[in-house]
Amino acid sequence: MISDTKGSKPAFFIQSNYIKKFFNKYKLHYFFGLIALLAVDYVQTLVPLIVGNVIDQIELNNFDADFVANAVFKLLGIAFTIYAGRILWRYFIFGSARSIERDIRNDLFQHLEKMSAKYYQDHSPGEIMAHMTNDLEAVRMALGPGILTLFDVMALGTITVYNMIVKIDPLLTAAAIIPLLMIAVSVRFMGREMHKRFSGRQEAFAQLSDFVQENLSGIKVIKSFVQENKSIEAFEKVNKNTFNKNMRLIKLQALMHPYMSMIAGLALAVAIGYGGYITIYGKITLGEFTAFIQYLGMLVWPMMAVGMTINMFTMGSASLERIENILNEPVEIKDSEEAVPINSFDGSIEVKDLNFKYPDSDKYVLSDINFKVEKGQTLGIIGRTGSGKTTLVNLLLRIFDPNDSTIFLGGYNILDIPLNVLRKNIGYVPQDNFLFSDTISNNIDFGLRKEEQEKIIEAAKAASVHDNIVEFKHGYETFIGERGVSLSGGQKQRISIARALIKEPEILILDDSVSAVDTDTEEKILTHLKENRKNKTNVIIAHRISTIQDSDLIIVLDEGKIVETGNHHELLQNKKGLYSSIYEKQLLEKMLEQE
């Protein structure tokens, strides 16, 4: 777990234990970068003194070729040092910031991969993408330009003020610096408002990103219902909100720069007025006065940079707080302390007195569920929509956790089986048949086992989709687009089945996975399961009785309860049962279709 946040303050950025671990990791990079920065700041403060000395020598007519050559070589050396130093601090500091950005993004993704389904019910993809992009960008800016500017302000400001006081005139320095201090004081009060407005902008961006992602994913539905105009109007509202939140932030940022320029101009006016006066009366030389004006110009940057630094750390703090909120979310589904050190288990399934309700709900979705399936058998599950069929599958996969000692796989309590082992030994074909924006070959071999092409083809044939695939121009290397947009519903189902079959899992779960194929294709798939998955367990959820009628055991669910169990012939004996009623209706529908 990560330490709690310290509130919405820029200081939180430095106080965060999470960020401190990255500072420790890249401390040498930051150290070398800051050394290079200090070298650059030091040598560039020598320039006004060299220029001022040249002017004084000209005024005193003490000017010769050796003096000029010496001054030129000094300036060339300073220029080279600045050039090399700036390359080095960019490499070390900016490079470290990019590395930390990469590491945080890896941490975020790894953590998100562990989160349960409940988390994704409460957080939209657009919101998460805002954290992975905009928020990380703000954190990187604080870790790179922010830290650089902070130390640059301190180093350049300190050296410059020291030279102005010690080598020119302390009273003139005080008179010129007082107006500049107004910059530092003013931006301090702007920090909180900047934090608030930036957080609002990030939230608006998350809403915009989520709206666009959802509407583009559902573009077919929008078009089919002729709702383009309604969608555009809704987008304009979300976009306007994003625009307004951006403008609120930009207005505050736009106010800061002119204000700082005005203060800098005031300080320059004081310096020229009072500095010119004491130069005329000989308290400082013309060269010293020229050097002072150059120093004042150099000092304007640190004072203006105070605002930039606070701005970057304020936005970085707000974004880091949002990122840490994600990383602080507990992982709900994880290995138990009593996890059994096994690599596999046989396919037997036993469910004892299972009751389940979803988090934040008082209604039981499953009640008093009991059944047993031996290794190598096929379990058929049927029932009305919303009867709890998919919920039961989610518990077998531990998408949600069941109560302790209610589900046993291979004789092991499911909660004691390591998650990695559990899911490796279960092949799952979901209802929505999610495919990735990749080739057909890579979608089938999604386990990243780098199977031989022959095994991929074998799995495709078993799923009765091989003939369709070879008809495509690029065959198995056909790129299918997001969610398999270029495929039909039946093709997506069968590719999903092939993806599960290639794993050769101990338990294969088909969640209404042949509903989009014709009966002949369905029969071929089921025949393969019977012939080639001997000694392995199959769980088939279906709405069509023809899909599950050859199952060794069939359970009929209704309103979360098992109302009937048995094989096909046994269940048909109960003429008043739900199974018999569904069978008769489907038989009548088939007869009407044939007519």
Residue-wise DSSP of 365-433: SEEEEEEEE-TT-EEEEEESTTSSHHHHHHHHTTSSPPPTTSEEETTEEGGGS-HHHHHHTEEEE-TT-
Q: Residue 434: left if φ>0, alpha if ψ -120 to 50, beta else—which one?
A: beta
CB atoms within 10 A of CB 75: 15
CA distance 100 to 140: 7
Output phi, psi for 355, to 5 deg. -130, 135
Helix (H) and strand (E) counts in the chain: 24, 10
The DSSP 8-state label assigned to residue 438 in this structure reads S
450: number of CA atoms within 13 Å, CB side? Answer: 0
What Cα–Cα distance (Å) separates residue 143 from each residue in 23, 86, 100, 306, 315?
A: 9, 17, 8, 15, 11
Q: In tens digits, what is the pLDDT along the chain, a chain of 595 residues?
A: 344 444 444 455 656 788 888 988 999 999 999 999 999 989 988 888 888 888 888 777 776 778 788 888 988 999 999 999 999 999 999 999 999 999 999 999 999 888 887 888 788 777 788 788 888 988 999 999 989 988 988 888 888 888 888 888 888 888 877 777 776 667 666 766 776 787 788 788 878 887 887 787 677 677 766 778 888 888 899 899 989 988 888 887 777 767 777 777 787 788 888 888 888 878 888 888 888 888 887 877 777 677 678 778 888 888 888 889 889 988 888 888 888 888 889 989 999 999 998 877 888 999 999 999 999 899 999 988 888 898 999 999 998 899 998 999 999 999 999 998 998 899 898 887 788 888 888 888 876 556 678 888 888 888 888 888 888 888 888 888 777 777 888 888 888 888 888 888 999 999 888 777 777 888 888 888 888 888 899 999 988 888 888 899 999 999 899 999 999 999 999 888 898 988 888 888 777 666 5
204 neighbors 323 (Cβ within 8 angstroms): no
539 neighbors 366 (Cβ within 8 angstroms): no
Pairing outcome for strands 537-541 and 507-511: parallel
Domain 14-327 has CATH 3.40.470.10: no
Residue among 491, 443, 441, 482 nearest 463 (CA): 491
CA distance 286 to 170: 16
What is the predicted pLDDT for the residue at 439? Answer: 87
CA distance 529 to 231: 45
Residues of the chain with CATH 3.40.50.300: 340-425+507-519+533-595, 431-504
CA distance 183 to 256: 9
| Angle, CA of 91, 95 and 99, to the nearest 5° | 160
CB atoms within 10 A of CB 470: 11
Domain 431-504 CATH class label: alpha beta
What is the predicted pLDDT for the residue at 191? Answer: 64
- The end-to-end CA distance of the chain, in Å, is 65
349 neighbors 507 (Cβ within 8 angstroms): yes
What is the predicted pLDDT for the residue at 103? Answer: 93
Whole-prediction pTM: 0.74
- Spell out the residues 6+ positions from residue 595 whose beta carbon is closer than 8 angstroms to its own: none
Query: In the structure encoding, which two tokens stand for residue 64, read together?
Result: 């010769």
The DSSP 8-state label assigned to residue 94 in this structure reads I
104 neighbors 323 (Cβ within 8 angstroms): yes
Long-range (24+ apart) CB contacts under 8 A made by 413-418 are 415/336, 415/338, 416/336, 416/338, 416/339, 416/340, 417/339, 417/340, 417/342, 417/345, 418/335, 418/339, 418/340, 418/341, 418/342
The DSSP 8-state label assigned to residue 4 in this structure reads P
Strand order in the sheet with 426-429: 426-429, 507-511, 537-541, 378-383, 553-558, 561-566
Query: In the structure encoding, which two tokens stand for residue 559, read together?
Result: 């309103």
555 neighbors 381 (Cβ within 8 angstroms): yes
What Cα–Cα distance (Å) separates residue 6 from each residue in 23, 311, 478?
A: 19, 18, 51
CA distance 381 to 357: 19
Return the CATH number of 340-425+507-519+533-595, one of 2.60.40.10, 3.40.50.300, 3.40.30.10, 1.10.10.10.
Answer: 3.40.50.300
If you search the block for the tokens 């000989």, which residue do you land on?
282
Output phi, psi for 541, to 5 deg. -100, 135
What is the predicted pLDDT for the residue at 3? Answer: 40
| Angle, CA of 407, 385 and 591, to the nearest 5° | 120
Long-range (24+ apart) CB contacts under 8 A made by 100-106 are 100/22, 100/26, 100/139, 100/140, 100/143, 101/136, 101/137, 101/139, 101/140, 101/143, 103/22, 103/25, 104/22, 104/136, 104/139, 104/323, 105/132, 105/136
361 neighbors 417 (Cβ within 8 angstroms): no
CA distance 580 to 582: 5
Residues of the chain with CATH 1.20.1560.10: 14-327
Strand order in the sheet with 366-373: 366-373, 349-356, 407-409, 412-413
Long-range (24+ apart) CB contacts under 8 A made by 112-117 are 112/326, 114/331, 114/333, 114/334, 115/329, 115/331, 115/332, 116/331, 116/332, 116/333, 116/399, 116/400, 117/394, 117/399, 117/400
CB atoms within 10 A of CB 220: 9
